[in-house]
Structure 1
Amino acid sequence: MKRLLSFLVIFLLAITVLPARTYIVSVGIADYPGTQNDLRVSANDAKTIAGIFNKNGKAEVDCFVNSDVTIQKVCSAMRQTFAKATSSDAIIFYFSGHGIPGGLVCYDGFLDYSSILKIMKQSKAQQKMIFVDACFAGKMRNTNKRNTNYSKEN
């Protein structure tokens, strides 16, 4: 709950300063196939994020939860939704669920970080944000050494 509240504070602050439009794909999986990998609140987190931005009026939100979080649906939604953004808009990808080294666990398999980053790079939006609440998310930068030189590539 504390983690969700922290996200909400960040999102509420972002809403007040975000550009013309914001395009969001919010994804959460609590009910994975079988029962041993289920989570408690991930689907609700994605719905909450979607609800906050839907109230804004300047956002277009796609939200997928549980069995709808397939690799194909998530990637298609990101491509289609983020392609609408202009350079003055923002795009956001939010994921809550299981993570593994190198990617995120969708309902039907593994979505690697490089695929997410490739889709994000294709958007014209200058402001791009990724929020991942999953194990191993800190490795998304995929670098072997610490780099404090912040550039377009970093």
Structure 2
Amino acid sequence: MYKLRGHHLFCLLGYRGMGYSPEYVKNMTRLHQTLRNNPKTLILLVKGPDQLCEKYPNSGEYHCQDVQIYERDAVILDKMNLKIGQILKWEDIESHIRKHVIPSDIQVVCETCSWRSLGACEEGIREIHEEKGLREVK
């Protein structure tokens, strides 16, 4: 079972193999491909830093504890009709995305995210709506 915070549910949709450090990328790719290849993997929704935050590089500001990030987590979980403490299969999270999220939500919910301008997250949401699942990352 993996522990994930709210906004990382969206980050996983747009993940294309880039990140904050080689260690972060390795960790994110491993999780992303696990969920892609086994959508029955269990996810525990947590408040605050999760298993992806563990590999965030300690050079610079540690944004995982930033108030804005906690707010983004809460908004995303609320939008998806999910709650902290829930345990779901990844495929159930994808189902919640199909029911409650549209690609343009990224522009509002993730307005301050530095990765937003790449457009990959909107593309990831469209692919979930098309039932393609997560994209392969090599």
TM-score past 0.5 threshold: no
Structure 1 length normalisation: TM-score? 0.28
Structure 2 length normalisation: TM-score? 0.30
Relative to total residues, which structure has the larger helix share, 1 or 2? 2
The structure whose Rg is larger is 1
Larger RCO of the pair (alpha carbons < 8 Å, separation 6+):
2
